[in-house]
């Protein structure tokens, strides 16, 4: 199966065919650096991180560009409140963004352009739009003439009149049409400004991304991405000004991720319902590498185009699912191998089948929920194979396959000695989550009680009985629940089970 992606421009899944053979050029709209990033920003970064990773897994060379908007009204307002220079504020939050992305395990793009470093390219693009009649100048401001671009609205699938009715359009009596947008803003007293043929000022938001993508990826490139809130007006305006300037197609595939929601509302600073990435890591009871993979697993359990409803319990359950996979890795690496291969060993066939199904899922518009399900199916199959006996070579290949399939998702990359088999909780009550542990409905256990040797032996015996009747779901559940108490089980080739704290 060839890779297919959902293209917002055509509102359909299409075969992904890059312009230049195995080279993929991808531009993703980054953040405006005026505050710490929240989980919504993390989702967008992780979505395009797995796209970047999977394209490379598939053998493509990827030139990945993700920008910083480092001059904006919000940055100026934050600088005024803090009584700091605006460029210091921007630099501070760029540094914070890099810290958060490193914690999340997000790969660094090849290029991270900043708007303030591209003023020459921005001015040249605006001059070209003026010369072609797509823009006009008023009192040191330059506006894009939307009516001049006949295809306006093709990304958002709405007519210009409909867009106006539902849009937040900046009121400006100097515009010829309310839908026109600023390419260059005349300087205001006390604000930073750059020289231009129209006088000192600074660029509008939309022209920045067009100029930066043009400079680093060329007139036409493969993928343009961002959150679905950017479809209009930002990406619609990018298309209008870029196509008008070059006379060529801009980006060929437009990919947009859904929101992170809380109580069915989009997570955003304006609504005050955000969880800062730094706070999530600071409040987690698990190491950063473990917390990062739990957040990833949680976010990737929902398809990237759909909204995901954040809940601390959901993150805790994702951590539990990862515990199962890391528990398997631990058994594969630590248990003694069978000296003679079982006559019915089909481990390699299982691994090959899972790899094919995993790639089939990811080739279907990066279907991470299905890809995760394939990893969990593989876990069950390998647990059964372990019970029947596996050669050391089979174990090694199984570990390599699990790690290899986890890599494009950014999962299963923590050394087994560094993984923490305990529930992920948050110290802050607003983030608090726990997994209810109930290994025996008649004698429920709760996290934090601790288990005596006798209690552990009873649960090990119940698990042994479950395995004997081939009730592997119950056996896995008991292993998971004991792991939550820091108890590790080691299944021996002779059918016995050893446990350790």
pLDDT computed for residue 438 by the predictor? 29
Per-residue pLDDT averaged across 158-177, rounded?
67
Higher pLDDT, 143 or 272: 143
Q: In this model, does residue 69 exceed pLDDT 60?
A: yes
Highest mean pLDDT among 226-240, 250-264, 312-326, 388-402: 226-240
Q: In this model, does residue 342 exceed pLDDT 70?
A: no
Q: Tens of pLDDT along 75-101?
A: 999 999 999 999 999 999 999 999 999
φ and ψ at 409, to 5 degrees? -95, -10
Q: Which of 16-25, 31-40, 114-123, 458-467 has the lowest mean pLDDT?
A: 458-467
Per-residue pLDDT averaged across 217-239, rounded?
98
Tell me how far CA of residue 111 lies from CA of 27, 215, 429, 492, in angstroms: 10, 11, 39, 50
pLDDT computed for residue 437 by the predictor? 28
Highest mean pLDDT among 59-63, 389-393, 482-486: 59-63
Q: Tens of pLDDT along 304-332?
A: 999 999 988 899 999 999 999 999 999 99
Paired sense of beta strands 221-227 and 260-262, if any:
unpaired
Q: Are 407 and 57 in contact (CB under 8 A)?
A: yes
Q: In this model, does residue 484 exceed pLDDT 90?
A: no
Higher pLDDT, 260 or 431: 260
Tell me how far CA of residue 435 lies from CA of 20, 81, 260, 457, 480, in angstroms: 49, 42, 22, 22, 11
Per-residue pLDDT averaged across 183-211, rounded?
97
What residue has token string 């619609």? 236
Q: Which of 192-196, 265-269, 389-393 has the lowest mean pLDDT?
A: 265-269
pLDDT computed for residue 451 by the predictor? 60
CA-to-CA distance for 235 and 213, rounded, in angstroms? 12
Per-residue pLDDT averaged across 283-294, rounded?
95
CA-to-CA distance for 414 and 425, rounded, in angstroms? 19
Please tell me the pTM assigned to this model: 0.84
pLDDT computed for residue 447 by the predictor? 33
Other beta carbons within 10 Å of 249:
14
Q: In this model, does residue 234 exceed pLDDT 70?
A: yes
Q: In this model, does residue 1 exceed pLDDT 90?
A: no
Q: For the chain, what is the mean pLDDT?
A: 89
CATH number of the domain at 4-257, please?
A: 3.40.50.620
Taking the C-alpha atoms of 443, 449, 454 and 457 in order, what is their torsion angle to the nearest 10 degrees? 80
pLDDT category, 262, cuts 50, 70, 90?
Answer: confident
Q: Tens of pLDDT along 412-424?
A: 999 999 999 888 8
Q: In this model, does residue 441 exceed pLDDT 50?
A: no
CATH classification for the domain delimited by 310-431, as one of 1.20.140.10, 3.40.50.10140, 1.20.120.640, 2.160.20.10: 1.20.120.640
């Amino acid at each position: 199966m060839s890779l297919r992606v959902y293209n917002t421009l055509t509102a359909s899944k299409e075969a992904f065919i890059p312009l230049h053979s195995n080279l993929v050029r991808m531009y993703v709209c980054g953040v405006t650096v005026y505050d710490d990033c929240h989980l919504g920003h993390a989702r967008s970064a992780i979505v395009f991180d797995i796209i970047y990773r999977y394209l490379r897994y598939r053998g493509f060379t990827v030139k990945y560009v993700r920008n910083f908007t480092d001059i904006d009204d919000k940055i100026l307002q934050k600088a005024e409140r803090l009584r700091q220079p605006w460029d210091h504020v921007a630099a501070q939050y760029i540094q914070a963004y890099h810290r958060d992305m490193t914690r999340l395990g997000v790969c660094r793009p090849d290029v991270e352009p900043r708007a303030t470093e591209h003023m020459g390219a921005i001015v040249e693009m605006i001059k070209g739009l003026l010369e072609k009649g797509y823009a006009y100048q008023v009192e040191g401001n330059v506006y894009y003439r939307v009516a001049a671009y006949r295809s306006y609205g093709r990304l958002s699938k709405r007519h210009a009149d409909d867009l106006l009715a539902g849009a937040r359009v900046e009121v400006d009596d100097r515009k010829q049409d309310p839908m026109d947008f600023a390419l260059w803003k005349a300087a205001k007293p006390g604000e930073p400004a750059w020289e231009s043929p129209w006088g000192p000022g600074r660029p509008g938001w939309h022209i920045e991304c067009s100029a930066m993508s043009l400079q680093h990826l060329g007139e036409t490139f493969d993928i343009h991405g961002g959150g679905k809130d950017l479809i209009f007006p930002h990406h619609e305006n990018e298309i209008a000004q870029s196509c008008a300037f070059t006379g060529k197609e801009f980006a060929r595939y437009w990919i947009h991720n859904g929101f992170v929601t809380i109580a069915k509302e989009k997570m955003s600073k304006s609504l005050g319902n955000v969880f800062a990435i730094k706070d999530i890591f600071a409040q987690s009871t698990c190491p950063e590498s473990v917390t990062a993979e739990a957040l990833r697993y949680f976010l990737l359990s929902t398809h990237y185009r759909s909204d995901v409803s954040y809940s601390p319990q959901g993150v805790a359950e994702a951590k539990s699912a990862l515990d199962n996979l890391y528990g398997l890795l631990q058994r594969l690496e630590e248990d003694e191998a069978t000296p003679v291969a079982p006559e019915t060993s089909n481990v390699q066939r299982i691994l090959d089948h899972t790899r094919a199904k995993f790639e089939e899922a990811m080739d279907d518009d990066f279907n991470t929920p299905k890809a995760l399900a394939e990893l969990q199916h593989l876990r069950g199959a390998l647990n059964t194979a372990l019970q029947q006996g596996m050669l050391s070579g089979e174990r090694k290949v199984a570990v390599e396959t699990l790690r290899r399939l986890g890599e494009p998702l950014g999962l299963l990359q923590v050394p087994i000695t560094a993984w923490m088999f305990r529930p992920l909780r948050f110290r802050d009550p607003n983030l608090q989550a726990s997994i209810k542990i109930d290994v025996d409905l008649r004698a429920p256990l709760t996290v934090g009680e601790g288990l005596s040797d006798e209690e552990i032996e009873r649960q090990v015996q119940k698990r042994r009985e479950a395995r004997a009747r081939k009730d592997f779901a119950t056996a896995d559940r008991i292993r998971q629940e004991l792991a939550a108490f820091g108890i590790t089980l080691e299944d021996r080739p002779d059918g016995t089970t050893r446990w350790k704290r």
